Structure formats: structure tokens, C-alpha cells
A = this chain, B = another copy of it.
């Protein structure tokens, strides 16, 4: 890797019929072809998966969670091991969130001040503090390739005044974050809840400060899907085309493709791993619950034609047995299938973009997926 190239984002092509983009982001641990799905490695592991398996699935970059790693094993241990890459033996790019989302959704007894948030962690109740300086220091210690700004993620619903006040603080924190040295890139996070003018103000203010990429936050927090799309549409026009865009914490397969069509390049979501642990598998015709008695004697794979390690070898009937018997191999195999499904879906999106046939394919995929079975409700990534 040429060190001077780190942070470069090449816009390789744009879709003539939508805002979809085919891009390439250079990080210190490797090149990321976009649009891209990033598996979530909350506690220094993508649940159930080894780094080798992630590589075989084609994962280009994974997420780490600042809040979780700050709480356990803690920064002394992370520093001792030389950062998250070495600790978990993943040599590809890592994006870390700021910890803000989890502090507001998971920790207890929060007190928000201008400097940051006092809270008690959810593991043993230890009082802790996280602000923009601390968050960037932690992400620097983790050796993150892409550091997210420390922001406040307002709940849904949120009054205009509360959203505006929260946004102002998040923007002051953004300026503080910008000043902190980190080895990795820094991405700003557009907030503003459901209010179009706040989303625009947030985006313009962040671009004014200047970051390596821009995320849209405060989405997938329980709002209806049209509102989620609106949050993206209200921010995107004010983000520079020359920088990558990331929609945080979503979504279902159709939602991701709709977001790609709205100009988003990067995604993370716990759905493929979380639903797998509940025995739910993704297919092109929607999700299926493998616990269902209908699969007891089913000799087919989860999805015909799928090339994942589960579908290459195992039947729905066997997977149902494993799920019913609460065997870990069942969770593992469905996790591998679901991650393959998500990673492969974005890979297909890239290939269709290169061939100039993205938009028709996207519409057909979404229609087929939604015609058959309902989407699972997107759960927030905590």
C-alpha cells in the first residue's frame, strides 16, 4: 500500500438511471470496492466466524465497536496487544464506530455534558466517561482504519427543538474530533432526526469542517421505512460526490439496494448474524425460519444455486434439526449463509453497476424479495 494513497476515494462510475456509484476507497489495511457490506464484529469477533471464514466469504472490511471494546477487554489490554487487528487476527480494514450510539442505547444512568457522556457500563455498572476526545483516542488505540466521529444519536421520535439542540452539540463535538490525531480516516455523521432542514444543516456543517467520508446516522432507530429513506435523501445532495457515504446500521437486502440507488456506498448491519442465531436465513424470496416444521424432511439447501459453505453441503432438514436441538453448528452455518448473502448481494450490485444495468436489476430484486415474504424488522445495531 502506498501510504500517500490512503484516504483516496476513486469514483469509478455512476449509474445513468439512479444515484448509485461504483467506487474504490484506499485504507492502510487494504482497498475497499464499493458499494460494500461490512460485517459487524461487536466484541472483537464477527459472531460465530473466524477471520479465515470472513476472508473466504469475501468480506473486505469489518466493524469494531468502540463502546464494547472500551468496556471489555478495555484499552489497557487493546493497547498491550497493539490494536484490534492484531488482537483478533484480522489483517484487513476495520471501521470503528464512536461508541456514541451504544452509550445512548445500552449504557445506564447517562449524564450528557458539553464534554461528553457519563454513564455506567452495561456489563458491571462501572462508571465511565466518553466524549469526542476519548472516543477518538480509543479509536486511535484500536488502530482503526476508519474512525467515526463521536455523536449523539437522538431517539425516535424526537421533537424539533431537541433534535436541533442535539445536532448543535454533535457539530461542536465534530470540530473537537477533527483536532484529535488518529492513524485512520475520519468520517463525519449527519444527524438531524426526521427534519429535512436539520439534515441539510448537519451535512453542510460537516463538509465545511471537512472529513474523509460522511455517514448518515440516526437511521434504523425504529422509524418507518419512508422516513429512513427521507433521512438519506435529505442529506445526500449536500455531501461531496468525491467522498464515500455510509448509511449506519442498516438494513434489509431491499433497503440496502434502495440506499445504493440513493447514492450510498457503505453499509453495516447485524441482521445477517443476529437473525442467524434465531434460525432465520435470507433468500432472494425473503427470509425463512428454519425452525419451521415444513423443513423437517427438506433435502434442498437453504437456497438453490447458493455457493455458501452451508448450501454447498447441508440440507434444510439437517439445519432445522441443528436449530431445534440448539446446536452451535446450526448458528454457524446459517451465519455463514446470511453473511454470504449480504456480501454477495453488494458484489452483484458492483458488477451490475460496472455493466451499466444496476437500476433494472435492483427494481426486480426488490420486487421479488418483497412479493413473497415480509422483511424482518430491522433492529438497531447495539
Binding site for B on A (CB under 8 A): 43-45, 47-51, 72-73, 77, 80-81, 87-89, 296-297, 299, 309, 313-315, 317-318, 321-322, 324-325, 327-333
**Distance of A234 from chain B, by nearest CB (Å):** 38
Are A315 and B81 closer than 8 Å at their CB atoms? yes
Pairwise interchain contact A297-B89, C-beta atoms closer than 8 A: no
Contact for A77 among B296, B313, B314, CB less than 8 A: B296
Q: Are A325 and B87 in contact (CB under 8 A)?
A: no
- The 8 lowest CB-CB distance pairs between A and B, nearest first, are A43-B325, A45-B329, A73-B321, A48-B328, A80-B297, A45-B327, A89-B313, A87-B318
User: Taking A73-B296, A332-B50 as contacts, is the C-beta distance between A81 and B317 under 8 angstroms?
Assistant: yes
User: Are A328 and B47 within 8 A (Cβ)?
Assistant: yes
Question: Is the pair A77, B317 in contact by a Cβ cutoff of 8 Å?
Answer: yes
Q: In the complex the two chains form, what is the Cα distance from A333 to B88 in whole Å?
A: 12
Bound Cα distance from A81 to B324, whole angstroms: 17
Chain B residue numbers with a CB within 8 Å of A81 are: 297, 299, 315, 317-318
Are A314's CB and B89's CB within 8 A? Answer: yes
20 CB-based A-B contacts, threshold 8 Å: A43-B321, A43-B322, A43-B327, A44-B318, A44-B322, A45-B327, A45-B329, A47-B327, A47-B329, A48-B328, A48-B332, A49-B329, A50-B333, A72-B324, A73-B317, A77-B317, A80-B297, A80-B317, A81-B315, A328-B331
Instruction: Report how far A314 CA is from B88 CA in the complex, Å.
Output: 7
A92 CB, nearest partner CB in chain B, Å:
14
In the complex, A47→B81 CA distance in Å?
30
Name A320's closest neighbour in chain B (CB-CB). B73
Using known A-B contacts A314-B89, A332-B328, determine if residue A45 contacts B322 with beta carbons closer than 8 Å: yes
Residues of B within 8 Å of A333, CB to CB, are: 50
Are B44 and A321 touching (Cβ within 8 A)?
yes
- Other CB < 8 Å A-B pairs besides A44-B325, A72-B325, 19 of them? A44-B322, A45-B327, A45-B329, A47-B327, A47-B328, A48-B329, A50-B329, A50-B332, A72-B321, A72-B324, A73-B324, A77-B297, A81-B299, A81-B315, A81-B317, A87-B321, A89-B318, A328-B328, A332-B332
Tell me the smallest distance from the CB of A76 to a CB of chain B, in Å. Answer: 8
Residue of B nearest to A330 (CB): B45
| Smallest CB gap from A297: residue in B | B80
Name the residue on B nearest A78 (C-beta).
Answer: B321
Q: How far is the CA of A77 from the CA of B77 in the complex (A)?
A: 49
Q: Which residue of B lies closest to A335 (CB)?
A: B328
Contacts of A318 in B (CB 8 A): 44, 81, 87-89
Q: In the docked arrangement, what's the CA distance between A206 and B196, Å?
A: 84
Query: How distant is the Cα of A328 from the Cα of B318 in the complex, in angstroms?
Result: 20
Q: Which residues of B contact A317 (CB under 8 A)?
A: 73, 77, 80-81, 87
Residues of B within 8 Å of A51, CB to CB, are: 313
Distance of A315 Cα from B82 Cα, bound (Å)? 13
